[in-house]
């Protein structure tokens, strides 16, 4: 994981908010996927905030996108928000 990468987790009613901070690389993608798998139970929507990402490494982005494609049956809607949303979100996921 990038030394400065962190995920802030906040849950309210049916939503799980994940704020990504620092540099996003392959290890960061793995950490995000683990948080999704562990924390998304019982929520309707996961909102991934990307404004605090400093850099997005292509390998981390590709790894996340490919992994999310394999989670086709994931029962939670995932939304990416912020200025970096279009750089990190898979094409078929919604960016706000």
26-46 pLDDT, tens digit per residue, is: 999 999 999 988 888 888 899
Both tokens of 71, joined, read 């989670």
Chain centroid to Cα 15, Å, comes to 14
Q: What is the pLDDT at residue 8?
A: 97
The residues spanned by each domain of the chain are 6-95
Q: Report the distance separating Cα 66 and Cα 16, nearest Å.
A: 22
pLDDT at 51: 96
Q: How confident is the model at residue 63 (pLDDT cuts 50, 70, 90)?
A: very high
Cα torsion 81, 34, 44, 93 to 10°: value is 40
Q: Is the pLDDT of residue 93 over 60?
A: no
Look at residue 83 and give its three-state secondary structure.
coil
CA–CA dist 22, 47 (Å, integer): 17
Does domain 6-95 sit in CATH 3.30.750.24? yes
pLDDT at 95: 47
């Amino acid at each position: 994981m990038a030394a400065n990468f962190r995920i802030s987790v906040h849950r309210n009613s049916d939503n799980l908010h994940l704020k990504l901070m620092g540099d996003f690389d392959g290890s960061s993608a793995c950490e995000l996927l683990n948080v999704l798998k562990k924390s998304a139970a019982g929520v309707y929507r996961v909102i991934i905030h990307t404004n605090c990402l400093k850099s997005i490494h292509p390998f981390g982005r590709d790894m996340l996108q490919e992994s999310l494609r394999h989670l086709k049956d994931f029962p939670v809607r995932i939304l990416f928000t912020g200025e970096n949303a279009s750089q990190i979100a898979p094409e078929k996921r919604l960016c706000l």
